Chains A and B, each alone.
Chain A
Amino acid sequence: MNKRVALTGNEAVAKAMQQINPDVVAAYPITPQTEIVQIFSKYVADGKVETEFVTVESEHSAMSACIGSAAGGARSMTATSANGLALMWEVVYIAASTRLPIVMPVVNRALSAPINIHCDHSDAMGARDSGWIQLFSENAQEAYDNAIQAVRIGESKDVLLPVMVNLDGFIISHAVENLNINDAEEVQKFVGEYKAEHHLLDKDNPITVGPLDLQDYYFEHKRQQSEAMKYAKEAVKKIGKEYGELTGREYGYFTGYKLEDAEIVLIGMGSTMGTAQAAVDELREQGVKAGLLKLRMFRPFPAEELAEALAHVPVIGVLDRAETFSTNGGPLFTDMHFALYGQEHKLIDFIYGLGGRDTNVSHLKGMFEMLQKAKDGQPIDRINYIGVRE
C-alpha cells in the first residue's frame, strides 16, 4: 500500500535507505547531501535499521569502506555531492571495475571553483565514464523510487555494477513535496536478500579481490564491464516494470511529455524537466507543438530508443546542466549527436542552470522559441548559454 507523505528530497532518500535497510552505510557529510546521512544516522541510533554505520574522515574513505564491505558480501550504500564525489574519483572507478553493486545517491551540486553549493550536474558528469549506472530524478518521488530500484538493478546477476541515483541539490533535496512511499515490508520483499556469489567473508572459499591485472588480463575485464552495461539496460527496464506492478509507478529509460505529435522538443534530466512541463502547457495553449523527453537513465545511454522516440521530431533542444569545455557543447548534447547520427534532425544545445542559476518557465519558453525559429529556417547558434549575463 502506498502512503502519501510530505518530505524533502533528502528525507525521501533517507526513508528509502531506511526501508532498504542496507548492511553497511559509510558516508561523509557534504552540502546539500548532509541531511541524508544525518537522518539515516538517526535511524541507526534509534534502532530503526540494522545497518552498520561507518563514520569516515573523507569521501575517499566512504567509498573505500563501501568497496571493502561490498567485497565482504554486504549490501552497501553511501551518498555524496559535488566535491565529495570528486574526492572519491579514484575509488568510484574501483567500485565499478571490481563489480560491486554499491548504491550511491548523489545530490547534484556544482563543482568548485569558484566555490558554489547549488545545483548543476557537473559532479555526476565527472563520473559518467566511471562504469557506474546513472539514474536521474525529476523530483523527490523519483529520487525515492530510483533509490529502491537501484539496489535491484546493481545486484542483478549479470550486471553487478554500482548505481548512482542523482537528484538536484536544494531544488529537490531541500524542497518539500508530496509523494507516495511504500510499506517497509513491501520494499524489503522487493529488494530481497543480497547474496554475493563470491565474497571475502566466505572463509571456506577464500578469494582474492583487486589483484594486479596487467597487459594480459586488464582488457578482458574492461570488455566484461562493457557487456555488463548492456545487461544493465535490460535490468533497468525489467525492474522498472516490476516496480510499477508493485507501486503503480512504472519506470523506463525516459518519459515523453506531449511528445507524440511534437515538432519541437527539449530533452533533459532532473528537476528542470518539471518546470519545462509548465512551459509546454502554455505553448500548447498557443497552438505550438512543443514536447519534452525526460531522460532518466544516462548511463548506460539508451541511444537506439532515443532515436526511435525522437524520429518524428525535426528540431531538438538539448538541456545540459553541465559544460564539457570542449567547445562543442554539454555532455548530453554530445551523446544526442551520437544517438541521432546520420539523421536529419537539427540539434541545438542549451547550457543552463550552472551553479544553481534559476531556470524558470520563461527561460524554457525562450528556448522553445529558438527551436521554433530554427524549425522555420532561421539561423540559431548550435550552443547557447541560457540565463547568463552578457
Chain B
Amino acid sequence: MSKEQKPGWKTLTRGGLILDAGNADEYATGGWRVKRPEWIPDNCIHCLFCWVYCPDSSIETKDGKMTGIDYEHCKGCGICAEVCPAKEKAIVMEPEGGKEDGDE
C-alpha cells in the first residue's frame, strides 16, 4: 500500500461514486499483460482500425497516423493484431518478456 493516506469513510463519496471523469488514465493496467502487441511500422497502412477497436485507448496516434502503443495501459488483449487488415500484419502479439509459458 502506498504511504499516501487514503481517504476514510467519512470523506469518501457514497456508494463508490467516482466524480472525476477520465480517471482510468491514472490506473496503469499494463501489468496485467501476458502477451504484448508489437508494432511493425513498415507494414502499417495507418488505417487506424487498431485505434478504433482498442478497448483501452492504448493506440497512440499523431496527425491521424499510428505512432505506437501505450504499454502503461495496454492489457494485451490482442484485438489490435486481430483486426489489423494489412497484407503483412503491422501488429503481432509476442509473449511478454520474450517467453511463452512452457518455453525452455
Contact = CB atoms under 8 A, between A and B. Distances in A.
Interface of A: 97-100, 160, 198, 205-211, 213, 216-217, 220-221, 223-224, 227-228
Nearest to B13: A198
B6 A209 contact: no
Interface string B1-45: 100001111001111111101010000000000000000000000
A160 B15 CA distance: 10
Contacts of B18: 207-208, 211
A221 B19 contact: no
B15 A227 contact: no
A209 B17 contact: yes
Nearest to B24: A208
Q: Quick one: which of B1, B9, B16, B23 has the most chain A CB within 10 A?
A: B16
A221 B15 contact: yes
B34 to A, nearest CB: 20
A162 to B, nearest CB: 11
A205 B15 contact: no
Nearest to A198: B17
Given A216-B1, A217-B6, A224-B9, A209 B15 contact: yes
B21 A160 contact: no
A97 B15 contact: yes
10 contacts: A97-B15, A98-B16, A207-B21, A209-B16, A210-B15, A213-B16, A216-B1, A220-B7, A221-B12, A221-B16
A97 B16 CA distance: 9
Given A220-B8, A223-B9, A210 B21 contact: no
Nearest to B11: A220
Contacts of B1: 216
A220 B21 CA distance: 22
B14 A224 contact: yes
Contacts of A223: 9
A216 B12 CA distance: 12
Contacts of A99: 14-15
B14 A216 contact: no
Q: What are the nearest 5 A-B pairs in CB distance?
A: A99-B15, A208-B18, A220-B9, A223-B9, A206-B21
A288 B23 CA distance: 68
Nearest to B6: A216
Contacts of B6: 216-217
A224 B14 CA distance: 7
Contact of A211 (B8, B12, B14, B16): B16
A160 B7 CA distance: 21
B4 to A, nearest CB: 11
Contacts of A205: 19
A312 B13 CA distance: 44
Contacts of B17: 198, 207-209
A210 to B, nearest CB: 7
Nearest to B14: A99
A206 B16 CA distance: 14
A209 to B, nearest CB: 6
A91 B101 CA distance: 39
Contact of B12 (A97, A208, A209, A217): A217
